[in-house]
Chains A and B, each alone.
Chain A
């Protein structure tokens, strides 16, 4: 199943598939971010694939000079009972990834969480606000360079 899907994707998207690997029967595909939405739409709409459930979407901070930030999509096909993992990385100083809210609307809150925690901007997101941290918070806590105990004084407490 994994091989069939990979060949199908490679035939259609060619060099947009940067990398792929299979580990313990789980297929992971690394995609170039400029064709991400197109690929996601294909995954969802194609009759043979039907990846209709976005199980999870999360960010990752590799803490490397290039390709530091990435976004990981775990999708599931109810029809084929098959899971697929997509990854995409950004090169920029200010990480930006196109939104997939148009494909799976579940992505809305997941992308807000990823924005809140990693500062990854999702192009075209309908409502990109923080979801956990206070609105006036200036940092992104899950970035590797954020101190564990936070920045003192960055969140105001009520007066005693």
Chain B
């Protein structure tokens, strides 16, 4: 690694949550929920040109049980909503959701009876990506933003205990109140 050379005989100290979150953020396995055209851009995001593996996210997992972040890419109909939710429920904690594109975030141009006007009606969404469809760069940006969230120990869908309950911070909050 060369890291030993740089550090020499020194010691690194960190909090265990920070170390775990650092590990987590650099190996976010996406669950591709490619429902429609945004999925094409999502594939480009994983492919060699845009190369999500630079950020540790190249391992698309087609089993929700091995995934950390669900990228919902496409128009979500009411009928599909049940399926999306079922797959989300099978993902182990901690988990995150990226709503990719206009349709997923708000229904987009489909203002109609069959399309859910934003998947946040039935899923806890961590990040919304604008665009129709968003460019792969935009999705990469979302991933980087999500990594920052992961490092901070934030997740809308998981319980705080799982992603690192910060007892000292809680105590500080209680004592200040």
Contact = CB atoms under 8 A, between A and B. Distances in A.
Partners in one complex: yes
Interface of A: 132-134, 141, 146-151, 155, 157-160
Interface string B111-135: 1111010000111100000000000
Contacts of A133: 79, 114
Contacts, number: 37
Contacts of B116: 157
Nearest to A150: B113
A146 B122 contact: no
B78 A134 contact: yes
A154 B113 CA distance: 10
B81 A157 contact: yes
B121 A160 contact: yes
A153 to B, nearest CB: 11
Interface in B80-136: 81-82, 85-86, 111-114, 116, 121-124
Interface of B: 78-79, 81-82, 85-86, 111-114, 116, 121-124
B107 to A, nearest CB: 10
A148 B112 contact: yes
A150 B111 CA distance: 10
B122 A149 contact: no
6 contacts: A132-B114, A141-B114, A148-B112, A155-B79, A158-B86, A160-B122
A7 to B, nearest CB: 45
B113 A141 contact: yes
B111 A149 contact: yes
Contacts of A160: 121-124
Contacts of A132: 79, 114
Contacts of B123: 160
A157 B82 CA distance: 7
B113 A157 contact: no
